[in-house]
Each structure stands twice: as structure tokens, then as C-alpha cells.
């Protein structure tokens, strides 16, 4: 069980997944990367994210993982999600090729909207590809209970994806005279 000793390279695969009529939806934290700098310290290289994955239903209780689409929520977008009230809307736009020569070819929109009556949310991902002339859309209705899990799990993960978990994985460096 080397995974438990903290110096293993084994990854743990444990997304929180919700299966609904037309699509499934999962969320899992994506950790930041660090690089060693001259001082020997570690500097945040790339922020982490909450990776959302959607894949379509292709029959009763059957889903096609090959047709999945992803959306990586940045820390600030996670802040938006966890502060949503019972009547709020959040909308995020991503261009996976932003700042490259392919910018604008593919655009992704994530839309989270409280359902009328206040008993849940609709989470929608739309992926438009100008080159392929394709437009995919995933709709996953989320209950209040599922959204509470999402909020709690994202709040728990947030300090980790911004790189602050060194706070819980360290020795007493502040001891004078040691």
C-alpha cells in the first residue's frame, strides 16, 4: 500500500459521478503543478482545477464514455459555483485553444441555473466546433442534495487546487532554535 506513504506515484481515481436520463456528469480535482526554483523552494507553476466530465446516455442505464467532453473549472469559477444561491445562474465560457492559432475554433459554455421551485439545478455543457460544424449539448439535472455534495466537495478541494495544501503536509518549521 505504497500509495498511503505519500511518495508513491499511484493516482487515486475517485470522481463524484451523477447518472441522469440523458447524460452522466462527474467531477474530480486536478491538482496544481509546482517547479523547483533556485532557492530550492517550490513555486506554483499551473493552478489546479475542478475537472467536469460529461458523457451521453446511449440507452437505458448505458452511457458512452468515448463521447465525453470536459470543462476545467478554474479556482475562481469554483468560487462562483460554491457561492451560488437557490435562485442564481452561473455561466462560463472557455476556448481550449485560447492564445494559439486555433483560437475560436472550439468554444465551450458551461451553464448552471437554479430550477424553478428551488429544488435543484440544471447543469449544461455546450461544445461548438466551427471547423466540424458540430454542436454538442449535455443537460444534467442536479438535485439540491447532489448540489450540496458538489459544493461541499468543491469547498474541500479548493485550497488544494490553489496549492495551499502544504499547510496540512508540513513539519513545524517555525520552531526557533531547532
Contact residues for a second copy (CB under 8 A)?
Answer: 1, 3-16, 29, 31-37, 40-45, 75-80, 82-83, 143-150, 152-153, 155-160, 162-178
Q: How far is the CB of 118 from a second copy (least distance, A)?
A: 11
Residue listed under C-alpha cell 442536479 = 142
Q: How far is the CB of 77 from a second copy (least distance, A)?
A: 7
Query: How many Å apart are CA 49 and CA 72, to the nearest integer?
Result: 6
Closer to a second copy by CB, 44 or 58: give it.
Answer: 44
- E strand or H helix at 149: helix 144-161
Closer to a second copy by CB, 9 or 133: give it.
Answer: 9
Closer to a second copy by CB, 5 or 133: give it.
Answer: 5
Closer to a second copy by CB, 90 or 128: give it.
Answer: 90
Q: How far is the CB of 74 from a second copy (least distance, A)?
A: 9
Query: How many Å apart are CA 68 and CA 56, to the nearest integer?
Result: 7
120 neighbors 132 (Cβ within 8 angstroms) = no
β pairing state of 49-59 and 89-94: unpaired
Amino acid at each position: 500500500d505504497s500509495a498511503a506513504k505519500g511518495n508513491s506515484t499511484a493516482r487515486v481515481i475517485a470522481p463524484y459521478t451523477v447518472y441522469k436520463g440523458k447524460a452522466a456528469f462527474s467531477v474530480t480535482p486536478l491538482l496544481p503543478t509546482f517547479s523547483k526554483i533556485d532557492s530550492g523552494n517550490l513555486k506554483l507553476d499551473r493552478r489546479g482545477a475542478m475537472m467536469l466530465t460529461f458523457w451521453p446516455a446511449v440507452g437505458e442505464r448505458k452511457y458512452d464514455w468515448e463521447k465525453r467532453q470536459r470543462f476545467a473549472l478554474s479556482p475562481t469559477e469554483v468560487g462562483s459555483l460554491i457561492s451560488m444561491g437557490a435562485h442564481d445562474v452561473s455561466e462560463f465560457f472557455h476556448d481550449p485553444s485560447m492564445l494559439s492559432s486555433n483560437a475560436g475554433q472550439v468554444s465551450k459554455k458551461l451553464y448552471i441555473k437554479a430550477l424553478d421551485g428551488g429544488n435543484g439545478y440544471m447543469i449544461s455543457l455546450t461544445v461548438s466546433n466551427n471547423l466540424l460544424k458540430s454542436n454538442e449539448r449535455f443537460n444534467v439535472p442536479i438535485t439540491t442534495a447532489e448540489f450540496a455534495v458538489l459544493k461541499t466537495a468543491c469547498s474541500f478541494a479548493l485550497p488544494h487546487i490553489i496549492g495551499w495544501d502544504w499547510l496540512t503536509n508540513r513539519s513545524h518549521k517555525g520552531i526557533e532554535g531547532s
